[in-house]
Amino acid sequence: MTLLSALLRRTALGVATLFVVSVLIFVGTSILPGDVANIILGQMATPESLAALRTKLGLDEPAHIRYLIWLSDLLSGDLGFSKAGAGTGTVGTPISEMLMPRLINTIRLGGAVAIVAVPFAVTIGLLAAMYPGTRLDRFVTFTTLGLISVPEFLVATLLVLVIAVQLGWLPATAYISGQETGLKLVRALAMPALTLVIVASSQIMRMTRATVLNVMNSPYIEMAILKGVPRRRIILRHALLNAIGPIANVIALNLAYLVSGVVVVETIFAYPGLAKLMIDAVQTRDLPLVQACAMIFCATYIVLIFIADMVSILSNPRLRHPK
Amino acid sequence: MKDIRKFQQMYRDGRMGRRDFMAALGALGVGTAAAAGFLTSAKALAATPQKGGTARYANNLHGPDDQMDPMVFTSGIDYTRGRATYNGLIQMVDGMVLAPELAEEWSANADATEYTFKIRKGVEFHDGSALTADDVAWTMSRHIGEESPSTAKALLAAITEWKVMDSHTVKAMLSSPDSDLPAKLTEKQMKIVKMGTEDFRKGNGTGPFVLESFEPGVRSTHVRNANYWREGANFDALEITGITDPLARANALIAGDVDLINQVNAKSIALVESSETARVISTPTSAYTGICILKNTAPGENDDFVKAMQYIQDRDRIVRSILKGHGTVGNDHPVGPAFGPDHCSELPIREFDPDKAKFHLDKSGVTAAELFVAPVRLGIEEISLLMQANLKKIGFDLTIRKVPSDGYWGAVWMKEPMNVVSWNMRPTANAQLAIQFAPHGNWNDTFWHNDRMGELLKAQLAETDEAKRHAMLCEMQTLVHNGSGMVIPAHVNEVDGASNKIHGIPTVPFGALGAYEWVEFAWMEA
Amino acid sequence: MAETETSFEELPDAPPRRRLRLSWSGKLGVVVVAFWMVIVVIGPSISPYHEADILDEALFIVPGSDNPYPETDYQPPSAVAWLGTDYLGRDTLSRTLFGARTTIGISLASTLLAYLVGVTLGIAAAVGRPVLDSSLSRLNDAILSIPSIMLALIIIAAIGSTIPILIVLTGLIYASTVFRIARSLGLDVKVSDFVEAAKVRGEGLWWIITREILPNVAMPMATDFGLRFVYVILFISSLSFLGLGVQPPQSDWGSMVRESLSGLPYGSIAPLVPAMAIATLTIAINLIVDDVSAHSGGRLARRMI
């Protein structure tokens, strides 16, 4: 019952957050210099031609009116049209049509990374926490720190140079058309996924180790130790259970990053995902497209964080039954 | 063996004569008989274009603003798709020669104020409808008028009307003479579309490829037009996409993920050249990147300041070490040596001279300046930084403000007192000068309004005597060189890359890979 | 704060203080961090060239060679440039030395700002009224759900990219992450027995925050701090990937890696030197953090082994 009411409450709050985000994004992109018409005409724009194109593309309404139109369209399930690619024609591209293949690509890549990175990182982090100060712990510490301190684009470029250009094992670009299946898809995803596994694992690993160590400091663990409960049991039953909340949060933030923040990797591997689409949309001032991406990112984030919070609450009896 | 292949390639591309080829192979220690054998195989390849294959092309820019409406084409990916999908009236083939395309023939009246175009018969759009004079007139009329969003309308400013004479004849009526009109019609924006088109994303043209799919910012696919009005393309299909990161693009070419790329940046040239699988194709053009100093405000209103900024350009080093030799020294006017006889070679180059720069700088009394830099063309950031470093040596502190390239043309260019600019090569020297330096023109980005310049631009278009035309062009180049606020340290080559399997790329300097003509004429070794 | 800790055997209002003893790796960390701090101070004055200097071709002429215009970019280490040159022919060593100040300065300032804002608001949300918690959390979620690179893209495109703007922007972006962690940890601590005990004893809110909650969230927060610091360096480098970031010719390590990335295929060490600088600093800071954590949290764990 508490779970259901929490779910309802969170959904309402989530919608409120979405609304806040849409307003923030709209205001943010409105203060950017130029609009779609500026971008389409670029260097060759004149005041007259800009005005004419704006009329044609329906951009001459005041900003707040355009926002309200967008909002009412959204509420009726219509994401609107991207006008950036319409030229001087009146027919734009439906945004849902642009988003779907990108969304699938993003989920594919993010999913591939998460499946590998999360269990791997949590296990290693836990091992390091079980044996702090040992050689294993030091090794894990040095390796993960060494790897996270390397910028993503350096990791990616080194992988391309060695694996694709020198050895020729995998393609240099992860370009996928959507028709790939099986091995072909794995090959296309392998390089960007590898780069992201390296980036995402390290933080999860570090935070798992730190949180578990923190819990080990708690009085009840001390009590358990004094009572002579076996070490493995203490870590797995007690420490881990209590560390789950913060770890879940870190994992959720990393998963959200895999959906929305991997623009560098998408650029280097020419992988058509959502993050790059949103950057492109901002750069072309394609407002409905920016908004649509932002809504997806925001919803993803809200859902992930909700799950993380639920996990924390369920794993901590005190949070489950607040006094 | 790699070198031999490279020379064979050069021979096939016409960049090397027979004699040079034999000499080069001799230098490699290849005997005459064997060299002759290599020559024959190179020739055989050159002689027989093969049909078939899918050519995969990766452009340096792409995004949601990829267009299929030729009138607002602005980037290489649009031009490439445009070349595949549509045709123009007139095209530019190897060696900057005008050739008929959809216009079978054209003629002008005596004073070049009226042009008649005979439109090719039996040409069909991809939707099966026939091409008529109506389509041509409708398409071309879109470029006329103050409100026209056409990105090429400056070239057609003299045209007042396109008249349909009969089903396959159109006339262009001009308000002032323009002997350059046919050359201007080869521009990428002048592709002919179906009359009344509202949805350009379908790409209904007459071109050698039919648009199969078009996802802006992702890719497009094209299949050979079986119903093309001439022999047509060699490739079965095209895949056009974008890879924005320069190193990633070069790596994709080398690794064989794509067959053709544009914009091999200076740092990747050696990488591609040393690969076994691909080559660099470098074509001198008159395109340039430089610094606009606004003449209507401080500090540019001071002529000495402009002179100082021009003398501080280490032009030779820019070409040598920033462009890696893939460019030509600029002379602070837009008509580069790539324009051949139209380039004013009599005008001495303004050499790098820090002492003169310091002299003018001291005289100007300017003590600080701010330059807005956006990556509008490869090399401009490096050029700005070299300028900054050299100014530092003579005791002047130039602040560089790096800004994003999106929104740059609307928010920075023609607004900030010093900003960087990039201009593509126009079809004629007159057009190149007019776009940027016609007094009070829309794109006069240094706000240098010179009456004599205006007179000459008009008069040269009406002049038919070659010697007089050249004298006028030279006077205009000298005017810009001495008076405007434009710093043009270098003209940049068009540097593209192609797989060694791709042959027959024409040499036309107005854009990537033979000004996009590769689409129809190149072919792939099976 | 990390030195304080509370447990059942010790009276909560009289936390014992123990001297922090560093392991060998912690000492190594201190040495490396100290080294970079010295460089931050004296780097520009011991650097052979200025960070903006593009080296003259004349410097690279090989004696006896007839080429008066040798290449200056991506040169290997030599007497002229000890760590070689970058993509523009600038001295990598000088740029790394100058870059220490920019990189560490921006990252430290941004991270501290992120912590100041994030921890303050996070703890406030954890201990404050539900209304405060809820509204802060919603706003935070909104900011956090917008990709940080995109937030930066919009703000920098709109108001420009100066170092103070970069610091505030990065600080606020990361404050939202810190907020979440601080709030979550704060909530966990808030419901723990010793806080309950303190409440029962009638201690004030401020006392509970400073004496109970902060010390207990400090250790995991410190681990996060070590990571956050490097994320800020990397974030600024990814801005340079989009053509934003610090203004040229100023050097920051992340941007230096990016600028000279094209040297990798030629075997240039220009992108690797700043990458090494980032790595050494990151590892060193985190080694110290680990020791601090072990000092407060690892004691029992160590006893168990």
B474-515 confidence digits (pLDDT tens)? 999 999 999 999 999 999 999 999 999 999 999 888 989 999
Q: How many residues does chain B have?
A: 526
For the ranges A291-305, C55-69, C89-103, C203-217, the maximum mean pLDDT occurs at C89-103
pLDDT value at position C10?
Answer: 39
Domain boundaries, chain A: 2-93, 96-283
How far from B162 is each of A36, A215, B169, CA to CA, in Å? Answer: 30, 81, 10
Whether A172 has its CB under 8 Å from any CB of chain B: the answer is yes
Between chains, do C25 and A24 touch, taking CB under 8 Å as contact?
A: no
| Å between B129 CA and nearest CA of chain A | 20
What is the tens place of the pLDDT at every residue in A117-134? 999 999 999 888 888 778
By residue range, what is the domain housing residue C207?
24-41+83-304
What is the tens place of the pLDDT at every residue in C275-293? 999 999 988 988 888 777 6
- Choose from B148, B221, B245 for mutation: most chain A CBs within 10 A: B245
CATH number, domain with residue C298? 1.10.3720.10
- Residue C77 in any domain: the answer is no
What is the tens place of the pLDDT at every residue in A131-172? 877 888 888 888 888 888 888 889 899 988 898 888 888 888
pLDDT value at position C165?
Answer: 92
CATH of domain B288-492: 3.10.105.10
What is the tens place of the pLDDT at every residue in B320-378? 999 999 999 999 999 999 999 999 999 999 999 999 999 999 999 999 999 999 988 88
CA-angle at C270, arms to C269 and C271, nearest 5°: 95
Between chains, do C141 and A301 touch, taking CB under 8 Å as contact?
A: yes
- Residue C264 in any domain: the answer is yes
DSSP labels, B163-219: EEEETTEEEEEESS--TTHHHHTTSGGG----TT---GGG----SSEEEEEEETTTE
How far from A263 is each of A192, A254, B61, B225, C257, CA to CA, in Å? Answer: 11, 14, 15, 37, 17
Between chains, do A297 and C149 touch, taking CB under 8 Å as contact?
A: no
User: DSSP 3-state helix, strand, coil percentages of chain A (rounded to 5)?
Assistant: 75, 0, 20
Of A19-28, B192-201, B309-318, the range with the lowest mean pLDDT is A19-28
Asked if residues A297 and A278 have their Cβ atoms less than 8 Å apart, the reply is yes
Residues 6+ positions from B195 with CB-CB distance below 8 Å: B134, B135, B138, B139
pLDDT value at position A321?
Answer: 62
Between chains, do C160 and B403 touch, taking CB under 8 Å as contact?
A: yes
What is the tens place of the pLDDT at every residue in C211-235? 777 777 776 677 778 878 888 888 8
Looking at the DSSP bridge assignments, the partners of residue B211 are: B222
CA dist C94 and C155 (Å) reads: 31
pLDDT value at position C299?
Answer: 40
| Å between A173 CA and nearest CA of chain B | 6
Could you say which residues from 140 to 179 on chain B have a Cβ atom under 8 Å away from some Cβ of chain A?
A: 142, 146-154
pLDDT value at position C303?
Answer: 35
Question: Nearest CB to C87: which of B267, B271, B403?
Answer: B267
Q: Which residue has the higher pLDDT, A301 or C195?
A: A301
What is the tens place of the pLDDT at every residue in C135-189? 898 888 888 888 888 888 888 888 888 899 999 999 999 998 889 878 877 787 7
Kindly tell me if the per-residue pLDDT of C297 is higher than 60.
Answer: no
Q: What are phi and psi of B219, to 5 degrees?
A: -170, 170
What is the tens place of the pLDDT at every residue in B214-223? 988 889 999 9
Strands in B103-108's sheet, in edge-to-edge order, are B103-108, B114-119, B169-174, B159-166
What is the tens place of the pLDDT at every residue in A226-251? 888 887 778 777 777 778 887 888 89
Q: What band does A174 get if pLDDT is binned at 50, 70 and 90? A: confident
The token duo for B125 is 């759009």
pLDDT value at position B480?
Answer: 97
pLDDT value at position B31?
Answer: 63
Instruction: Name the CATH superfamily, with its identifier, for domain B87-199.
Output: Dipeptide-binding Protein; Domain 1 (3.90.76.10)
The token duo for A231 is 């070490």
Could you say which residues from 214 to 233 on chain B have a Cβ atom under 8 Å away from some Cβ of chain A?
A: 215-219
Mean pLDDT of chain B: 91
- Amino acid letter, B467: A
- Amino acid letter, B146: E
CA dist C118 and C122 (Å) reads: 6
Count the domains in chain C: 1
Question: Nearest CB to A39: which of B245, B254, B406?
Answer: B406
> pTM of the prediction?
0.87
Closest alpha carbon to C94 in C55, C48, C39, C42: C48
- Amino acid letter, B339: F
- Residue C64 in any domain: the answer is no
Q: What band does B14 get if pLDDT is binned at 50, 70 and 90? A: low
Q: What ipTM does the predicted assembly reach? A: 0.86
Nearest CA in chain B to A83: B65
Whether A146 has its CB under 8 Å from any CB of chain C: the answer is yes
3-class SS at B375?
coil
Kindly tell me if the per-residue pLDDT of B279 is higher than 90.
Answer: yes
Mean pLDDT of B291-310: 95
Between chains, do C87 and B271 touch, taking CB under 8 Å as contact?
A: no
Strands B103-108 and B97-100, sheet pairing: unpaired
Fold of B54-64+207-281+495-524: D-Maltodextrin-Binding Protein; domain 2 (3.40.190)
Between chains, do C258 and A151 touch, taking CB under 8 Å as contact?
A: yes
Q: What band does B8 get if pLDDT is binned at 50, 70 and 90? A: low
pLDDT value at position B41?
Answer: 57
Between chains, do B409 and A85 touch, taking CB under 8 Å as contact?
A: no
Peptide bond before A94: cis, by omega within 30 degrees of 0?
no
Asked if residues B372 and B401 have their Cβ atoms less than 8 Å apart, the reply is yes
Mean pLDDT of C85-93: 94
- Choose from A88, A283, A293 for mutation: most chain B CBs within 10 A: A88
Give percent of chain C above pLDDT 70. Answer: 87
Whether A40 has its CB under 8 Å from any CB of chain B: the answer is yes
CA dist C197 and C124 (Å) reads: 20
Nearest CA in chain C to B374: C243
- Amino acid letter, B484: S
Q: How many CB atoms lie within 10 A of CB C21?
A: 10
Q: Which residue has the higher pLDDT, B93 or B392?
A: B392
Between chains, do C146 and A25 touch, taking CB under 8 Å as contact?
A: yes
Pick the CATH number of A96-283 from 1.10.3720.10, 3.40.50.10310, 1.10.10.10, 3.40.50.1820: 1.10.3720.10
Element at B291 (helix H, strand E): strand B288-293
Kindly tell me if the per-residue pLDDT of B32 is higher than 80.
Answer: no
Q: Which residue has the higher pLDDT, B393 or C63?
A: B393
Q: What band does B289 get if pLDDT is binned at 50, 70 and 90? A: very high
pLDDT value at position B57?
Answer: 96
- Provide, as residue numbers in chain A, all residues whose Cβ is less than 8 Å from the Cβ of B257: 171-173, 175
Between chains, do C249 and B389 touch, taking CB under 8 Å as contact?
A: yes
Between chains, do B385 and C249 touch, taking CB under 8 Å as contact?
A: yes
